[in-house]
């Protein structure tokens, strides 16, 4: 399909490779055939207004994003502006300065920490003499690299197409060529190539949304099927240590990497507490500041676990100098997903790596009542389990029931899912006082109401 091949040149990576590296380069330098050239990147950050608190960390984060995408970061350029320039975002003087650095440092790609309009991308590329991409495009590339399941690949493709569609005119000048326009029955210049590609792109977007809608419905049924269990979901900033914690709590063989967005697909495993309770624990995609809205929308099915969970476990990297801003960014995304009012437990991870006690005190003051742990060493895991148990107990219900001795299903359910506080056999009935979760209590009542007459 023509539009897919056109968009792929800018929006889709080669499977198994980084997005920004290229295999060869015609610059006169001799390289072996096996050499993979990592594109040399120049980072640009523009602070709009006077607030400067998160700005430096934002550039550090862009550096991480660029390296995760496969670039070799050579230089950074920053600028403060009251308002962005309508044409080049940074103004002609700064664009000229960047153009000089592009030539001097042999830069292949200029990466902006800001979101740019299609026209700004086009004009900037002309002004600086190199490929220009913005923060959103880098994040989309990284998601495409890490997409493994069919669901994740569909979600990434949808987000890429929605991002790229309005940029077709600026990206592909050959699409302005017209088709038709001659012969009997033809009027005018005919349909332009760009209109044909836009139509095909919209058709593909519609199909992807239909497929993802079916996946979301299936995901919703899967989540509902687990509704008899207490469910908890790990949420947090990317690279906060969620996968490491999942492995620590459940023993599951999950991917643990010191990379941004290494986990895209939701994984669910059983966490068996020491008191016999069981929790279905899910890991989700990591969040990030200014996460592209089309990615949030595309990954709605993946994030269904968070919207339906009994408890959100918000994992914060306590050792990070910008832990406060990262925690606030996650809370912002959760509100966007409609999870702002969910029961949540704040968990400060990586306490073994804290270097600045002042930053740590600020974090604790800003978010009191958090559990402090180290998923890597196991420090604080008992305290975390105790807090989750408290939540379970608060949701528990105490009930007195009469269970026929022949009702093996109900007795087995009680043994597996409830805590027996007292029991007494009266004739052929076991009179019991039990404590269990509200969902388990409702299930027990239903079982006893449907007791076969033969019992």
> Per-residue pLDDT for the chain (455 aa), expressed as one digit of tens each?
333 333 334 444 433 344 444 334 444 444 434 345 688 999 999 888 765 555 456 788 889 889 888 889 999 998 888 888 888 999 899 999 999 999 999 999 999 998 888 889 889 999 999 999 998 888 888 877 777 777 778 877 888 888 877 766 544 444 444 444 443 433 444 456 667 777 888 888 889 888 888 877 776 666 555 556 788 989 888 888 888 999 999 987 655 555 555 555 567 888 988 877 788 898 877 777 776 666 666 566 556 667 778 899 999 999 988 888 889 888 888 887 777 778 899 999 999 999 888 888 989 999 999 999 999 999 999 999 999 988 887 877 889 999 998 898 889 988 887 888 999 998 889 999 998 877 788 888 888 888 877 76
53 CB neighbour count, 10 Å cutoff: 10
- What letter does residue 92 receive in the DSSP assignment? H
The C-alpha atoms of residue 223 and residue 220 are separated, in whole angstroms, by: 5
The C-alpha atoms of residue 235 and residue 116 are separated, in whole angstroms, by: 29
| Cα atoms in the 13 Å half-sphere on the side-chain side of 38 | 12
User: Are the CB atoms for 350 and 315 separated by under 8 Å?
Assistant: no
Q: For the chain, how big is the Rg over CA atoms in Å?
A: 27
The C-alpha atoms of residue 302 and residue 422 are separated, in whole angstroms, by: 42
The C-alpha atoms of residue 16 and residue 429 are separated, in whole angstroms, by: 62
Domains in the chain, CATH or no CATH each: 1-25+32-176+185-225 (3.40.50.11060), 228-392 (3.40.50.300), 396-449 (3.30.70)
Please list the alpha-helical segments (H only) found in 78-192. Answer: 92-104, 118-128, 135-146, 150-164, 168-171
The C-alpha atoms of residue 453 and residue 455 are separated, in whole angstroms, by: 5
Q: CA 435, 436, 439: angle at the middle one, nearest 5?
A: 145
The C-alpha atoms of residue 76 and residue 226 are separated, in whole angstroms, by: 48
CA distances from 354 to 64, 85, 214, 330, 410 (A): 20, 40, 44, 21, 49
């Amino acid at each position: 399909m023509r539009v897919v091949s056109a968009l792929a040149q800018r929006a889709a990576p080669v499977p198994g490779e980084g997005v920004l590296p290229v295999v060869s380069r015609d610059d006169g330098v001799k390289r072996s055939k096996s050499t993979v050239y990592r594109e040399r990147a120049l980072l640009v950050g523009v602070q709009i207004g006077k607030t400067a608190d998160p700005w430096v960390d934002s550039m550090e984060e862009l550096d991480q994003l660029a390296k995760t995408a496969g670039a070799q970061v050579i230089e950074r350029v920053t600028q403060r502006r009251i308002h962005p320039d309508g044409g080049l975002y940074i103004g002609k003087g700064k664009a000229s300065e960047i153009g000089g650095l592009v030539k001097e440092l042999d830069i292949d790609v200029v990466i902006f920490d800001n979101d740019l309009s299609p026209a700004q991308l086009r004009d900037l590329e002309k002004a600086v003499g190199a490929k220009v991409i913005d923060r959103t495009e880098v994040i989309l590339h990284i998601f495409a690299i890490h997409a493994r399941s069919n669901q994740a690949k569909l979600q990434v493709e949808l987000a890429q197409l929605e991002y790229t569609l309005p940029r077709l005119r600026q990206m592909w000048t050959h699409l302005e060529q017209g088709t038709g326009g001659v012969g009997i029955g033809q009027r005018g210049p005919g349909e332009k190539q760009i209109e044909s590609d836009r139509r095909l792109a919209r058709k593909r977007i519609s199909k992807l949304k239909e497929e993802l809608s079916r996946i979301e419905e299936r995901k919703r049924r899967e989540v509902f099927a687990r509704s008899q269990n207490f469910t908890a979901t790990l949420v947090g900033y990317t690279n906060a240590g969620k996968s490491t914690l999942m492995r620590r709590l459940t023993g599951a063989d999950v991917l643990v990497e010191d990379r941004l967005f290494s986990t895209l697909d939701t994984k669910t495993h059983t966490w068996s507490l020491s008191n016999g309770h069981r929790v279905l624990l899910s890991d989700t995609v990591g969040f990030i500041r200014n996460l592209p809205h089309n990615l949030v929308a595309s990954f709605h099915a993946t994030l269904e676990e968070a919207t339906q969970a009994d408890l959100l476990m918000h994992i914060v990297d306590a050792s990070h100098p910008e832990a406060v801003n990262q925690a606030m960014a996650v809370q912002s995304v959760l509100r966007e997903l409609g999870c702002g009012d969910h029961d949540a437990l704040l968990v400060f991870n990586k306490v073994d790596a804290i270097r600045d006690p002042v930053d740590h005190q600020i974090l604790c003051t800003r978010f009191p009542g958090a559990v402090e742990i180290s998923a890597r060493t196991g420090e604080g895991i008992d305290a975390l389990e105790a807090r989750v148990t408290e939540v379970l107990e608060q949701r528990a219900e105490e009930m007195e029931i009469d269970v026929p001795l022949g009702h093996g299903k109900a007795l087995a359910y009680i043994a597996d899912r409830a805590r027996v506080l007292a029991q007494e056999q009266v004739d052929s009935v076991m009179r019991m006082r039990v404590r269990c979760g509200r969902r388990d209590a409702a299930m027990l009542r239903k079982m006893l109401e449907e007791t076969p007459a033969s019992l």
